[in-house]
């Protein structure tokens, strides 16, 4: 890979708590900013009638830990999730380019539903990184709550328990942010 394959980590993917780049994997605590490949996930909740939004949770997870967790998913869940994304998501690798990718454009709408972020109350964003850089060939993307709610019934109880355990063990956001409680609040994609 060349320097053209990467760009600086966008501030939208900084840790909400520190306002800096994530340094460690949430699960194994390995250092990420030298030569680790990892994913950042952030979940947002907007408040109707206000411009304010809250970060429900955010974290970075190294690729090794993410793959290990994914291997624990039931085969039925994996088959259904993969089929859903194959049918609904047309993400192709970004062409090599000198210029940075437009993060605002990447995160302007749901990658599945094509709904504008301005019309959403809850959504999650994802980005793939190597060391202290964003991997440009895997554009960051946004998934709306309505898309997440379509995926939830595809997941087996065992896989949902696994995701809920991950969430409860590692994230624990303020419960006040979840009122009213919705079934999709605990889903975490790896």
Which among 177, 107, 178 has a CA at the least distance from the CA of 143? 107
183 belongs to a structural domain: no
186 belongs to a structural domain: no
129 belongs to a structural domain: yes
Q: What is the pLDDT along the chain (190 residues), one digit of tens a residue?
A: 666 689 999 999 999 999 999 999 999 999 999 999 999 999 999 887 777 889 999 999 999 999 999 999 999 999 999 999 999 886 555 556 677 889 999 999 999 999 999 999 999 999 999 999 999 998 999 999 999 999 999 999 999 889 888 888 888 755 555 555 555 555 555 4
65 belongs to a structural domain: yes
184 belongs to a structural domain: no
CA distance 110 to 95: 21
Structural domains counted in the chain: 1
- Cα–Cα separations (whole angstroms), residue 134 to 15, 59, 110, 151, 186: 14, 15, 20, 27, 26
**Residue 31 CA, distance from chain mean position:** 19
What pTM was computed for the model? 0.85
For residue 80 the two structure tokens come to: 């259904």
Which among 180, 182, 183, 166 has a CA at the least distance from the CA of 57? 166
CA distance 89 to 81: 11
Domain that holds residue 145: 3-177
Which among 83, 72, 30 has a CA at the least distance from the CA of 164? 72
């Amino acid at each position: 890979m060349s320097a053209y394959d990467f760009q600086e980590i966008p501030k939208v993917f900084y840790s909400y708590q520190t306002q800096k780049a994530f340094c460690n994997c949430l699960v194994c605590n390995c250092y990420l900013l030298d030569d680790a490949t990892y994913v950042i996930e952030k979940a947002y909740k907007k408040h109707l009638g206000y411009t304010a939004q809250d970060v429900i949770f955010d974290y970075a997870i190294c690729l090794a830990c993410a793959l290990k967790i994914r291997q624990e998913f039931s085969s039925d869940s994996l088959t259904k999730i993969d089929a859903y994304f194959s049918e609904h998501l047309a993400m192709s690798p970004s062409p090599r380019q000198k210029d940075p990718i437009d993060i605002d454009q990447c995160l302007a709408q749901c990658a599945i539903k094509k709904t504008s972020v301005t019309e959403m109350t809850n959504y999650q964003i994802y980005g793939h990184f190597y060391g202290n850089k964003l991997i440009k060939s895997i554009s960051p993307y946004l998934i709306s709550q309505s898309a997440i709610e379509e995926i939830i019934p595809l997941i087996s109880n065992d896989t949902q328990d696994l995701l809920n355990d991950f969430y409860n063990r590692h994230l624990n956001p303020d419960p006040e942010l979840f009122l009213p409680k919705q079934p999709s609040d605990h889903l975490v994609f790896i």
